[in-house]
Chains A and B, each alone.
Chain A
Amino acid sequence: MSIAETATDAGNMHNPSSAAGSGGSGLGRRSFLGYVIGGTTLVAAAELAAPARSEAVIPSLPQVPELYDLEDLQTDAALPTSALISVTINSDGTASFAIPRAEVGQGITTSTAMILADELDLPVSKVKVTLAPARPELMFNQLTGGSNTTVSTYTPIRVAAAIARNALLDAAAIELGYAVARLRTYEGLVEAPDGTTIGYGELAQKAASPDTKQVEVALKEAKDRKVVGRPHNRDDALAAVTGQKDFSMDLDVKGALPTMVCRAPTLNGTPRRLKNRKKIKRMPGVKDVVKVDTGIAVRARTFGQCIDAIREMKVVWNKGSAEGESDQTILAGLRRAELPMVVPNVPILAEQIDADFAFAFRSSAALEPNCAIADVREDSAEIWAGLKVPILAQQNIAQAVGLRQDQVKVNVITSGGSFGHKLFSDAAIEAAKISQKMKKPVRLMWHRADEPRQGRLHPMCTSRVRATMLGNEVLSFEQRNTSVVTDFSHGLGEIITSTIDEAPTDVGKALGGLGFSETIFTLTQELPYNFGAVTQLLNETDDRFNTGSMRNIYSPDTAVASELVIDMMAKKMKMDPLEFRLKFIKDDRTRACLEKVAKEGNWGRRMPAHRAQGIAVHKEYKGATAVLVEIDTRPSTVNRKIRNAVTGPRVTKVVMAVDAGLVINPRGLEAQMQGGFMDGLALTLTSSCHLRNGKFLEASWDNYFYTRQWNVPRKIDVHIMDPGVDQPGGAGEAGVPASAAAVACAYARAVGKVPTAFPINHGEISFKPKTFVPPVPKSPTNGLKFTY
């Protein structure tokens, strides 16, 4: 009897629940189709029908994201090719799975291993999750963004795992001489009623199918989960803490010598010529010098020698893309592009609040700077880089160096952070061009100074809100964001174009005719309050900047503006901010989060002068978040001195509640929420880029004030809600918007004045800008004076 036939029987013959020892007939459980793939060891793959989506039940006019949001769009876009997700059982008893997503610190290799382990009945340590290289056949199903990984892959990978487990059971039935229904699986073993066991490793080849067969399978029920939903440490923690975790720049690729680029003093300036090429070529360690469209590239024995060479280069530059422009002129441009508010037809006694906020440019750069290894030959190329959209990178690289897409191999390497930055493949494309010109492999890394000055930024924007109230009711709430253009050329744009037509009819109508950015804005923004006529719109202008999303796209700015206005509305109605929110909040899940933080954070406790609490919510990513903070703005705190540091107000306590739907790994979710808070804190209080005369001034982590230990709250509690649903939500970005908003609300209450520009310290420049020519600072030599 061939295994293939047995496997084909799997869906009908097995009662998967009895095989899992869980009892019950299995009737009414949804079954899924999948494949056992032909080969010498067991490989199972998943094919799915579109999952049922819950119907909207909110009687008032729902906003688009309530019916269909960015998560749905990405999940739908991923469906047609999910069949290609496959799990392999190896003869050493391990399972391996190459996830077509990027691990950038968010913990998806760990959570994916947990999901697989649960469905396979295998210890998590025996599940090896790696990152798939660019797989063009996956089309849209290889974009890591929008906190969508678990939302879109949760079911497909379980189906593949369940099929693998069934095939193992079938093989074991033959080996052990018992019917499948009498076998049980645990810890990577199949056990017969007589206590005999056989390991998955031994079964892997026996369970293999000579050819590919479609099978049907049911998934484990919630009550049978042993791994999902329980805290689990990261699979790469040991490697990370011993220095063994390899990032792109740590890979040993033969001949790929350190390479850096001398960049223009002004934003997006291009090189005309290098005047002292001979001198540079003679410098110690320097091997190659070429001109590319972004600057003058130098390849040397060490990165230090690249830096030295860049500092000696005399380059004639063409103009940049924002010559002469500054924060003020760009902001004035936004103001000119702002759409008029629709003055609502409201009763004469209605009260109105008009508020207007400006948000500065911010850098999404990770600690690992933009970097990539490229080896471009005449008829082939290979790339190693942290890439969240590797298929598009592959296409762009092929185009840039004149090769066919299939001649370019793109390896996805674990990244040292992303925050939106690695949606783009700027460094990989640049490295490929340089490698082609030098005819050698290159290890390209951006200097830190290049990141805020020439790298991707979250665009400057304004957010205006007009709310009208009559008595104790809110009649309307209009929000208008006007933003420097956000670049969506990383592929989400293509997903929208191809998917939006298939969205539910009402949604299709609502989105018809909108551009990428407006569509994404509409798909992500949802004000979770019953405020009568609610409209939230985006208008964009000015595409001269290098932009992208930044651990959320629009939500943190939108949430800061709307939650501050909500506090203003509460004040006008003489209501407590919590009481006001509870009165108007739309849905139970968001309400539950709000009530949780209010209780755990002791909302309303008496605070001394210059100190205050703030509370805010956000609803997105198939879930909700609430944050309560306490802030200290006493002069003694604000003016505390730490060398080269922006200290300022200090958040002293944070209480967060997150409803992320079905939680795979609570420990990972808690980490994402804590990290998300640190981002929200920086967005509101400290981190921004200053544009002056066509140049961004920041060039160092002591210029761009991302949260540091001296800003960190000493107490941060995360409460994970259980909404009792079987659908995972997003985690990576969920913590940021309500955090940024709660800090803003607390600050406004502590100082008795609502700020109108963020971050609050953007008005002053707290550092001496580093030189623009040369574009990178000299490495210090006095390090031994600072030992401790």
Chain B
Amino acid sequence: MPKQTFILNGKPVTVNVNDDVRVLWVLRDLLGVTGPKYGCGINVCKACTSHINGKAFNPCSVKVGDLKKKDRVTTIEGLPDTVGKKLHPMQQAWIDRDVPQCGYCQPGQIMAAVATVKKVRREGRQLRESDLDEIRNICRCGTYARIREAVEEGARNMR
């Protein structure tokens, strides 16, 4: 069985599994990293949103064989380390605004929010309502209003 090596939350990991297994299952079923959730498996619900080399991606839709040795995969578990703190400002905003209800989608929501803020900064502009409108992550509890507030608060505290 092929060996798959990539960097997960700052540490290199190697897993024996076929190339075509999607990264989500490598994380959850083989490595026991359960922050990214399954909600559809077809890159629609975005519950598994994580980062690859600092950008948002959905591991349900990427073959593990397509990851390179130097690719840095960050899940919600590794997000605080990216800022060297106990909590990322976006996670803190989520707590301050008491966003989660059932909490199932929230790891993905937070990872999407961080990437969205970084994206608009790369584009040299401020966060707009239309950016929030286009966040595709589903929250079946309907916490959308507090998510919008928290993304704005988290953005203010992101350096």
A residues in contact (CB < 8 Å) with B:
104-107, 233-234, 236-247, 249-250, 252, 258, 284-285, 301-305, 307-308, 365-369, 414-419, 445, 447-448, 642, 644, 667, 671-672, 674-679, 700-702, 706-710, 712-714, 716, 776-777, 779-784, 786-788
Knowing A236-B103, A783-B61, A784-B62, say if A674 contacts B142 (CB, 8 Å): yes
Apart from A106-B101, A783-B23, 17 more pairs, CB < 8 Å: A234-B98, A237-B98, A241-B99, A242-B35, A242-B80, A301-B17, A303-B38, A367-B104, A367-B139, A416-B102, A642-B134, A674-B142, A674-B145, A709-B137, A712-B133, A783-B60, A784-B66
Report the separation of the CA atoms of residues A104 and B143 in the bound assembly, to the nearest whole angstrom: 14
Q: Mark B122-159, 1 if CB is under 8 A from A, else 0.
A: 00000001001111111111111111100000000000
Complex contacts, B102 vs chain A, CB 8 Å: 104-105, 366-368, 414-418
Complex contacts, A285 vs chain B, CB 8 Å: 18, 21
Report the separation of the CA atoms of residues A90 and B52 in the bound assembly, to the nearest whole angstrom: 45
Complex contacts, A708 vs chain B, CB 8 Å: 136, 138
Report the separation of the CA atoms of residues A32 and B95 in the bound assembly, to the nearest whole angstrom: 38
A-B pairs, 6 with minimum CB distance: A243-B35, A105-B102, A678-B142, A416-B104, A240-B103, A783-B61
Complex contacts, A447 vs chain B, CB 8 Å: 41
Q: Please state if A700 and B42 are interface contacts (CB–CB under 8 Å).
A: yes
Q: Please state if A787 and B138 are interface contacts (CB–CB under 8 Å).
A: no
Q: Please state if A367 and B140 are interface contacts (CB–CB under 8 Å).
A: yes
Knowing A712-B144, A780-B61, A784-B62, say if A243 contacts B134 (CB, 8 Å): no
- B8 at the A interface (CB under 8 A): no
Q: Please state if B140 and A243 are interface contacts (CB–CB under 8 Å).
A: no
Q: Please state if A243 and B38 are interface contacts (CB–CB under 8 Å).
A: no
Q: Please state if A788 and B56 are interface contacts (CB–CB under 8 Å).
A: yes
- B13 at the A interface (CB under 8 A): no
Complex contacts, A676 vs chain B, CB 8 Å: 142
Report the separation of the CA atoms of residues A546 and B121 in the bound assembly, to the nearest whole angstrom: 48
Report the separation of the CA atoms of residues A533 and B106 in the bound assembly, to the nearest whole angstrom: 48
Q: Please state if A786 and B43 are interface contacts (CB–CB under 8 Å).
A: yes
Point out the residue from A305, A671, A776 that lies within 8 Å of B101, measured CB to CB.
A671
Report the separation of the CA atoms of residues A787 and B62 in the bound assembly, to the nearest whole angstrom: 11
Q: Which of B24-52 contact A (CB under 8 A)?
A: 24-26, 28-30, 32, 34-45, 47, 52
Q: Please state if A233 and B98 are interface contacts (CB–CB under 8 Å).
A: yes
Q: Please state if A675 and B141 are interface contacts (CB–CB under 8 Å).
A: yes
Report the separation of the CA atoms of residues A467 and B78 in the bound assembly, to the nearest whole angstrom: 61
Q: How many of chain B's residues touch chain A, expressed as a range? A: 35 or more
Complex contacts, B80 vs chain A, CB 8 Å: 242
**Nearest opposing residue in chain A for B76, CB measure:** A243
B120 to chain A, nearest CB (A): 10
Report the separation of the CA atoms of residues A247 and B100 in the bound assembly, to the nearest whole angstrom: 14
Report the separation of the CA atoms of residues A697 and B150 in the bound assembly, to the nearest whole angstrom: 35
Report the separation of the CA atoms of residues A489 and B66 in the bound assembly, to the nearest whole angstrom: 48
Complex contacts, B56 vs chain A, CB 8 Å: 787-788
Point out the residue from B20, B29, B63, B144 that lies within 8 Å of A678, measured CB to CB.
B144
Q: Please state if A419 and B140 are interface contacts (CB–CB under 8 Å).
A: yes
Q: Which of B75-132 contact A (CB under 8 A)?
A: 75-77, 80, 87, 91, 94-95, 98-107, 110, 115-116, 119, 129, 132
* Interface pairs (8), CB distance under 8 Å: A241-B95, A241-B110, A245-B103, A303-B25, A418-B102, A447-B41, A779-B61, A786-B58
Q: Please state if B104 and A304 are interface contacts (CB–CB under 8 Å).
A: no
**Nearest opposing residue in chain A for B77, CB measure:** A243
- B57 at the A interface (CB under 8 A): yes
Q: Please state if B25 and A706 are interface contacts (CB–CB under 8 Å).
A: no
Complex contacts, B36 vs chain A, CB 8 Å: 243
Q: Please state if B140 and A706 are interface contacts (CB–CB under 8 Å).
A: yes
Point out the residue from A241, A366, A674, A710 that lies within 8 Å of B133, measured CB to CB.
A710
A23 to chain B, nearest CB (A): 35
Q: Please state if B39 and A701 are interface contacts (CB–CB under 8 Å).
A: yes
**Nearest opposing residue in chain B for A364, CB measure:** B140
Complex contacts, B95 vs chain A, CB 8 Å: 233, 237-238, 241
A114 to chain B, nearest CB (A): 13
Complex contacts, B76 vs chain A, CB 8 Å: 241-243
Complex contacts, B137 vs chain A, CB 8 Å: 709
B residues in contact (CB < 8 Å) with A:
17-18, 20-26, 28-30, 32, 34-45, 47, 52, 55-63, 66, 75-77, 80, 87, 91, 94-95, 98-107, 110, 115-116, 119, 129, 132-148
Q: Please state if B98 and A304 are interface contacts (CB–CB under 8 Å).
A: no
B112 to chain A, nearest CB (A): 9
Q: Please state if A367 and B105 are interface contacts (CB–CB under 8 Å).
A: yes
Most chain B beta-carbon contacts within 10 A, residue among A242, A667, A671, A706: A242
Knowing A242-B91, A448-B45, A784-B62, say if A302 contacts B17 (CB, 8 Å): yes
Q: Please state if A783 and B132 are interface contacts (CB–CB under 8 Å).
A: no
A783 to chain B, nearest CB (A): 3
Knowing A368-B104, A788-B116, say if A642 contacts B133 (CB, 8 Å): yes
Q: Please state if B141 and A105 are interface contacts (CB–CB under 8 Å).
A: yes
**Nearest opposing residue in chain A for B91, CB measure:** A241
Q: Please state if B141 and A781 are interface contacts (CB–CB under 8 Å).
A: no
Report the separation of the CA atoms of residues A285 and B134 in the bound assembly, to the nearest whole angstrom: 37
Most chain A beta-carbon contacts within 10 A, residue among B42, B59, B94: B42
B8 to chain A, nearest CB (A): 13
Point out the residue from A308, A702, A709, A788 that lies within 8 Å of B115, measured CB to CB.
A788
Knowing A302-B29, A417-B104, A787-B57, say if A714 contacts B129 (CB, 8 Å): yes
B50 to chain A, nearest CB (A): 10
Point out the residue from B25, B35, B63, B94 that lies within 8 Å of A781, measured CB to CB.
B63
Most chain A beta-carbon contacts within 10 A, residue among B37, B61, B102: B102
Complex contacts, A237 vs chain B, CB 8 Å: 94-95, 98-100, 103
Complex contacts, A415 vs chain B, CB 8 Å: 102
Report the separation of the CA atoms of residues A439 and B138 in the bound assembly, to the nearest whole angstrom: 37
Complex contacts, A284 vs chain B, CB 8 Å: 18
Knowing A367-B104, A417-B141, A779-B41, say if A301 contacts B29 (CB, 8 Å): yes
Most chain A beta-carbon contacts within 10 A, residue among B38, B58, B66, B132: B38
A367 to chain B, nearest CB (A): 4
Report the separation of the CA atoms of residues A245 and B110 in the bound assembly, to the nearest whole angstrom: 14
Complex contacts, B135 vs chain A, CB 8 Å: 709
Complex contacts, A667 vs chain B, CB 8 Å: 98
Knowing A368-B37, A674-B142, say if A105 contacts B42 (CB, 8 Å): no
Most chain B beta-carbon contacts within 10 A, residue among A308, A365, A419, A784: A784
Knowing A250-B34, A709-B135, A783-B59, say if A107 contacts B101 (CB, 8 Å): yes
Q: Please state if A700 and B103 are interface contacts (CB–CB under 8 Å).
A: no
Q: Please state if B138 and A712 are interface contacts (CB–CB under 8 Å).
A: no
Point out the residue from A246, A303, A675 that lies within 8 Å of B142, measured CB to CB.
A675
Q: Please state if B39 and A784 are interface contacts (CB–CB under 8 Å).
A: no
Report the separation of the CA atoms of residues A727 and B18 in the bound assembly, to the nearest whole angstrom: 59
Knowing A241-B94, A241-B110, A783-B62, say if A247 contacts B133 (CB, 8 Å): no
Q: Please state if A448 and B87 are interface contacts (CB–CB under 8 Å).
A: no
Most chain B beta-carbon contacts within 10 A, residue among A366, A448, A709, A777: A709
Q: Please state if B101 and A241 are interface contacts (CB–CB under 8 Å).
A: no
**Nearest opposing residue in chain B for A787, CB measure:** B55
Complex contacts, A700 vs chain B, CB 8 Å: 40, 42, 44
Q: Please state if B107 and A675 are interface contacts (CB–CB under 8 Å).
A: no
Complex contacts, B143 vs chain A, CB 8 Å: 671, 674-675
B44 to chain A, nearest CB (A): 5
**Nearest opposing residue in chain B for A443, CB measure:** B29
Complex contacts, B30 vs chain A, CB 8 Å: 301-302
Q: Please state if A709 and B103 are interface contacts (CB–CB under 8 Å).
A: no
Report the separation of the CA atoms of residues A177 and B90 in the bound assembly, to the nearest whole angstrom: 51
Complex contacts, A416 vs chain B, CB 8 Å: 37, 102-105
**Nearest opposing residue in chain B for A714, CB measure:** B129
Q: Please state if B103 and A105 are interface contacts (CB–CB under 8 Å).
A: yes
